Amino acid sequence: MSILVEVSEMRRRASMLGLVLLAPLVLAACGGGGSSPEPTQPPPPPPVGQVSKEFKTESSTAQFLARATFGVTKAQIDALTGTEVSDWIKAQFDKQPILYRTRITDRLAALPGNETLRDYHLTNMFLDDVIAGDDQLRQRMVLALSEIIVVSSDGALTSFPETMAYYVDILSENAFGNYRDLLEEITYSPGMAMYLSYLRNEKGDMASGRVPDENYAREILQLFSIGLVELEMDGTPKTDGQGQQIDTYDNSDITGLAKVFTGLSLEGTNFHQLYRDCPSLRKNCPRVYQPLEMYETHHSELEKTFLSLSIPANTNGTESVQMALDEIFNHPNVAPFVSRQLIQRFVTSHPKPQYVRRVATAFESGRFTLPDGTVVGAGQRGDLKATLAAVLLDDNATRLPSQTPSDFGKIREPMLRFINLARTFGETTPDSADERRLRNMTQYLGQHPFKAKHVFNFFEPEHVAPGTQTGAAGLTIPELQIVNESSVIGYINFINQFIYDTSPTRSGDPDGGVNVDYTAQLALADDAQALVDNLDLLLTGQQLSNVTKDRIVELLAEIPVEAGSEDEDRISRVRVAVSMVMTSPGYLVQR
């Protein structure tokens, strides 16, 4: 079978796959092909305390790493199986943050004349780091936080990679820190101020009718901290005596809070200065990657009332911001609101309330006990180290596949699938800058790191897909918001160009681009079953159904490998196998 025929076959299967993914119950297909009917009742949850102290089997190791990293390698599986989970978590917590701002500004300074950089220079660095690096847990947390507290370069910030790098560094340095500190640093970041339009936000003026910009006040409440309705500790909405959900705030709260975020502008001597006022164009402008400055003469001196707080008139701007952030952070919604979204980004799209409650409890207490008895977290409310450990090591996340109900799991985000391919198949020296199509992954995958289409992220955490059985069941499947016929085909075409080594946008440098190494798979290519079993372990943690694997083996048998033949037959067989697995429901839905 020629590569052209193979790709044509994959496209045909992609059309079928689109129907599968858009079919009513996507999570029911996560076993890959439906080898057995779904049970009428989900199995009971595992008993408390079932979290294993060890990576006991290759498959359980691969499944855990699929949730906690950007991709599983055979070397990782071999090294970790039989070791303690706690040791891996602690080692990841001890790694130093990978930072970008200095690297970007150094590169800017080295450019001749008026040459400049764009946002993809930052994301290329990020992709290279997560493909080849070992600081996997922190970087996964960075990406998760970037989808909760969104600053996007899709717009004015396209031309400010140093400002975006400063934002990403804030996420990295606070990934295992405290959520209160993260909110404060984000509030004072030029990127957020430029993105949500409170840069140079003026106090109100009754004579002219000018009022403070309300954008950040609205989004910090709705999207970054407490949400729209009051929540129980388990993330379910509270209701009043008439059974109605209770709003967390109204427009008067937004109006009051907007006054707090007045007077903030770029550091310097002039509240009204913009980037264009910097000398030497882009070469010497630290104010766009330094904390904002509070200009008191432009800060509202009026009383500021919102939620249950009244900030007295004439309180200075810096103190007003501190008081406001404390009020927001101390709201009881923050723990379940943030915890549920972190569960969604790492483990499952529709977490059970008990799961949310346990993670939110770790957020509230600031502590979590690892399986080996080590307590992680500083003991302060909002500790993200404790919260993340609770997400990954909860009984719901670590139970056996046989105990996993059909509504558990999440669609793997398309950008993670690409990184997964590169990591799993041995790309250790990636050069993402050499892949011009990576400059706008959104065109092909519907996603691009740090480049969401709007402040609501690529998809909303409470998205319930209309016209589906998951929707009828009330299941939140955020990722379905970017799944459609076009995106399914786009993913297949995009990923196959890397699987088949036909990326059309490389420079031609043999050392450039993002390449994969099939050496281990070529050694198995003569035995189709062994090859599929290997890919099943690496890519799904042995989650493919027997029906799916049998179908792939059957297709591979149509690609003959003659005794003593050249590797051309084997590489063809391997590529088809990888493509089949990476387009199967058993891979696309992480369990």
| Residue 26 pLDDT greater than 50, yes or no | no
CA angle 441, 517, 20 (to 5 degrees): 50
Average per-residue pLDDT for the chain: 89
Is the pTM higher than 0.85? The answer reads: yes
- For residues 557-584, average pLDDT: 89
CB atoms under 10 Å from CB of 151, counted, come to 25
Residue 285 confidence class, pLDDT cut points 50, 70, 90? confident
Alpha-carbon span 305 to 320, nearest angstrom:
11
Asked whether the predicted pLDDT for residue 9 surpasses 70, the reply is no
- Please tell me whether residue 552 adopts helix, strand or coil conformation: helix
d(C-alpha 410, C-alpha 392), whole Å: 14
pLDDT higher than threshold 60 for residue 42:
no
Other Cβ atoms closer than 10 A to 144: 18
* Per-residue model confidence (pLDDT) at position 469: 86
- The pLDDT of residue 421 is above 90: yes
Q: 507: pLDDT confidence band, cut at 50, 70 and 90?
A: confident
Residue 160 has pLDDT above 90, yes or no: yes
pLDDT band at 70 (very low <50, low <70, confident <90, very high): very high
On whether the CB atoms of residues 196 and 215 are closer than 8 A, the answer is yes
Q: Over 80: is that where the pLDDT of 503 sits? A: yes
Higher pLDDT, 511 or 320: 320
pLDDT at residue number 565: 64
Q: How confident is the model at residue 6 (pLDDT cuts 50, 70, 90)?
A: very low
Residue 2 has a pLDDT of: 28
Q: According to the model, what pLDDT value does residue 14 have?
A: 43
Which stretch of 241-255, 274-288, 561-575 has the lowest confidence by average pLDDT?
Answer: 274-288
In which residue are the tokens 């943050």 written?
97
Note whether 340 and 362 are within 8 A (CB): no
pLDDT band at 511 (very low <50, low <70, confident <90, very high): confident
Each residue's pLDDT tens digit, 174-224: 999 999 999 999 999 999 999 999 999 999 999 999 999 999 999 999 999
- Taking the C-alpha atoms of residue 464 and residue 476, their distance in angstroms, rounded to an integer, is 5
Confidence of residue 270 (pLDDT cuts 50, 70, 90): confident
Contact criterion met (CB below 8 Å) for 408 and 396: yes
Q: Please give the DSSP secondary-structure letter assigned to residue 169.
A: H
Question: What mean pLDDT is predicted for residues 426-438?
Answer: 96
Q: Is the pLDDT of residue 283 over 80?
A: no
pLDDT classification of 41: cutoffs 50, 70, 90? very low
- By percentage, how much of the chain surpasses pLDDT 70? 89
Could you tell me the pLDDT band of residue 17, with boundaries at 50, 70 and 90? very low
Q: Which residue has the higher pLDDT, 41 or 502?
A: 502
Per-residue model confidence (pLDDT) at position 568: 86
Rounded Cα–Cα distance for residues 217 and 215 (Å): 6
Distance CA 14, CA 493 (A): 9
Q: Is the pLDDT higher at 46 or at 577?
A: 577
The average pLDDT across 399-420 equals: 92
Q: What is the mean pLDDT of residues 233-247?
A: 97
Neighbour-count burial of 527, counting CB atoms closer than 10 A to its CB (0-12 exposed, 13-18 middle, 19+ buried): middle
In eight-state DSSP terms, residue 70 is S
Q: Give exposure, 52-89, as e/b (b: 16+ Cβ within 10 Å).
A: bebbebbbbbbbbbbbbbbbbbbebbeebbeebbbbbb
| Contact yes or no for 181/189 (Cβ under 8 A) | no
